[in-house]
Amino acid sequence: MIRQGRISVNGRTVTALGTKADPATDRIAIDGRPLRAATALVYYALNKPTGVVTTLSDPAGRPTIRDLTRKIRQRVFPVGRLDYHSSGLLLLTNDGELAFRLTHPRYQVRKSYHVKVSGHADERALQRLRQGILMEEGKTAPAEVEVLETSEHKSWLEIRIAEGKKHQVRRMCDAVGLPVEKLTRVAIGPLKLGRLPPGEMRPLTRVELAKLFEAVATAPGAAV
């Protein structure tokens, strides 16, 4: 099947025999149809605190999200990332198809962040963020930006983007002269952080799951 070009991993056709993939974290498909998970699919919301890396292990010995999720019996992985100094909503699951769609730019799932920056967020800076910022990888897509609170020395913004470039929100704000002091992700599409305490997690409700699947036009564990 590999020689016939029928196997793909994360949307790319496999051409080399012996290629390795992890069914728990990779989207493996035959003739475009994803393999179904052999274990029960689970979905958790986690409020990642600062000072924790969004990986399951860390060579530097820093705390990881695995330290916060040991009570989950199934093997899960984070959908997207938050950097070491950022906090907020992470979705943990073993549903590779949902994870793929939530992170792929094609599906335009917006992530919302509350961002505290140094300096006054004037209209010129806001317009630059809304129009897109030129980075090494290219220009960012236009962001939705709302001022929550501002003063001469500090500003609170809500920034909504559908991309996932490395440290994107921090780099965008740096580019307009508003360095980030604090960054918290408060929503992934229709899924909200709410009042979940830092370091705590909870299973998603049926209503939340239905809204997530609707947002990316899929069903649990399988593409439409």
Q: In whole angstroms, give the CA distance from residue 61 to residue 63.
A: 7
- Is residue 221 assigned to a domain? no
- Closest by CA position to 174, among listed 220, 136, 216: 136
Q: Which of 83, 95, 122, 174 is catalytic?
A: 83
Output the domain CATH number for residue 194: 3.30.70.580
- Is residue 224 assigned to a domain? no
Helix (H) or strand (E) holding 171: helix 168-175
Q: In whole angstroms, give the CA distance from residue 144 to residue 127.
A: 10
122 classed as catalytic: no
**159 near 144, Cβ under 8 Å?**
yes
**Structure token digits, residue 103:** 């992170």
pLDDT higher than 60, residue 163: yes
- Is residue 204 assigned to a domain? yes
Are 16 and 57 in a shared domain?
no
pLDDT higher than 50, residue 224: no
45-58 per-position pLDDT tens digit: 999 999 999 988 89
Cα dihedral sign for 213, 78, 111, 130? negative
Are 122 and 61 in a shared domain?
no
- Is residue 222 assigned to a domain? no
- Is residue 135 assigned to a domain? yes
pLDDT of residue 71: 86
Are 200 and 170 in a shared domain?
no
- Is residue 223 assigned to a domain? no
Are 124 and 170 in a shared domain?
yes
Are 101 and 147 in a shared domain?
no
Are 177 and 167 in a shared domain?
yes
Are 94 and 124 in a shared domain?
no
- Closest by CA position to 150, among listed 175, 125, 169, 174: 125
172-221 per-position pLDDT tens digit: 999 999 999 999 999 999 999 999 999 999 999 999 999 999 999 865 65
- Is residue 71 assigned to a domain? yes
Phi, psi (deg, nearest 5) at residue 21:
-150, 155
pTM for the model: 0.80
What is the domain count for the chain?
Answer: 3
Structural domain span for residue 76: 43-105+189-216
Q: Taking the CB of residue 168, how many other CB atoms lie within 10 A of it?
A: 19
Helix (H) or strand (E) holding 203: strand 201-203
Are 136 and 162 in a shared domain?
yes
pLDDT of residue 106: 87
**93 near 43, Cβ under 8 Å?**
yes
Are 117 and 181 in a shared domain?
yes
104-160 per-position pLDDT tens digit: 888 999 999 999 999 999 999 999 999 999 998 899 999 999 999 988 899 999 999
Output the domain CATH number for residue 9: 3.10.290.10
Q: In whole angstroms, give the CA distance from residue 188 to residue 190.
A: 6
56-67 per-position pLDDT tens digit: 889 999 999 999
12-49 per-position pLDDT tens digit: 999 998 888 877 678 899 998 887 655 789 999 999 99
pLDDT of residue 124: 95
- Is residue 201 assigned to a domain? yes
